[in-house]
């Protein structure tokens, strides 16, 4: 799953709909220190939860950034 923020606004606790219930591991984040980011958020594992009739994960995303997640269970 790829989440891209192409705006200069950051988002806190952004709800992203996911296809399956379970855990999702961050496998790439442009905010990683090795890519010149602030390194605030790295190697995150998030657990999905039910919100209304959707399964979602909650993420913080910086301006002009991208995060890739991989389903793990």
What are the two backbone dihedrals, phi and then psi, of residue 35, each rounded to the nearest 5 degrees? -105, 10
- pTM value is 0.85
Phi-psi domain of 72 (left: phi exceeds 0; alpha: psi -120 through 50; beta: other): alpha
Determine what percent of the chain is predicted with pLDDT higher than 90: 74
pLDDT of residue 39: 66
Question: For 21-54, how does the pLDDT look when each residue is reduced to its tens digit (9 = 90+)?
Answer: 999 999 999 988 787 777 666 668 899 999 999 9
């Amino acid at each position: 799953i790829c989440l891209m923020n192409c705006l200069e606004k950051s988002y806190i606790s952004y709800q992203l709909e996911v296809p399956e219930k379970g855990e999702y591991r961050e496998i790439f984040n442009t905010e990683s220190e090795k890519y010149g980011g602030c390194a605030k958020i790295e190697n995150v594992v998030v657990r999905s939860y039910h919100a209304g009739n959707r399964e979602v994960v909650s993420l913080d995303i910086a301006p002009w950034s991208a995060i890739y997640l991989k389903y793990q269970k």
